[in-house]
C-alpha cells in the first residue's frame, strides 16, 4: 500500500509539473489541456468513486496551493472531487474496451471541471474573465484534453496496476 501511495503522489506531482511547465508551450488559443483531470480520471476508472473522490480532493488541493494566488483555496479541490467521483461512478457504464469511453469521459469531465471552476470562480469573485471566455475555455479545454487523453490515462492506469490495493 505505501508503494501505491508513492506512485499516486508521483503521478499527481508529475501532472502538476506538466500542467504548469510543459502544457503552456502547447497552448491552443491560449488554452491548455488539463493533465491533472486525466490522472484523476485514469485512477478513478480503475478504483471507483470513493478513490476518485479522495484523489480528486488531494489533487485539487495541491493545484490550489500551487497556484499561489491565495484568493480562495479549495475551488479546484471541490471541482476535482466531483470529477473523480463522476469518473469512478461511470466505470460500470463504460464498454468492455474502455478506450473510447475513457476518451469521451475524459473530455466531458475536463469540460465540466473547467466550467465548474469558471462558474464557482465567477460566483466567488476569483475569476475576472467574462462568461464568453469561460464558455470558450470549457469547449477548447474539453476537446484538447480528450485528444491527449490516450497519452495520459492509459500510462497512468498501467502504473497504478503495478501497485494493487491490499483488498484486491
pTM for this structure? 0.91
116-128 pLDDT per residue, tens: 999 998 888 888 8
Check whether 168 has a pLDDT greater than 60.
Answer: no
93-148 pLDDT per residue, tens: 886 567 788 888 999 999 999 999 999 988 888 888 888 989 999 999 999 999 99
The matching CATH number, chosen from 1.10.1760, 3.30.750, 3.30.2000, 1.20.120, for 2-161 is 1.10.1760
Q: How far apart are CA 107 and CA 89, in angstroms?
A: 16
Residue keyed to cell 473522490: 53
51-88 pLDDT per residue, tens: 999 999 999 999 988 887 666 788 999 999 999 999 99
Closest CA to 141 of 32, 2, 13, 24: 32
Amino acid at each position: 500500500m505505501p508503494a501505491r501511495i508513492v506512485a499516486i503522489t508521483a503521478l499527481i506531482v508529475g501532472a502538476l509539473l506538466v500542467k504548469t511547465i510543459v502544457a503552456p508551450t502547447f497552448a491552443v488559443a491560449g488554452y491548455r489541456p488539463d493533465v491533472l483531470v486525466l490522472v484523476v480520471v485514469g485512477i478513478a476508472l480503475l478504483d471507483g468513486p470513493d478513490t476518485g473522490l479522495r484523489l480528486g480532493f488531494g489533487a485539487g488541493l495541491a493545484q490550489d496551493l500551487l497556484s499561489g494566488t491565495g484568493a480562495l483555496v479549495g475551488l479546484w479541490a471541490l471541482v476535482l472531487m466531483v470529477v473523480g467521483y463522476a469518473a469512478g461512478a461511470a466505470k460500470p457504464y463504460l464498454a468492455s474496451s474502455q478506450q473510447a469511453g475513457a476518451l469521451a469521459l475524459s473530455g466531458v469531465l475536463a469540460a465540466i471541471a473547467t466550467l465548474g471552476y469558471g462558474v464557482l470562480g465567477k460566483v466567488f469573485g476569483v475569476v475576472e474573465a467574462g462568461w464568453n471566455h469561460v464558455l470558450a475555455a470549457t469547449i477548447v479545454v474539453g476537446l484538447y484534453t480528450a485528444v491527449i487523453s490516450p497519452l495520459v490515462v492509459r500510462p497512468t492506469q498501467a502504473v497504478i496496476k503495478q501497485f494493487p490495493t491490499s483488498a484486491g
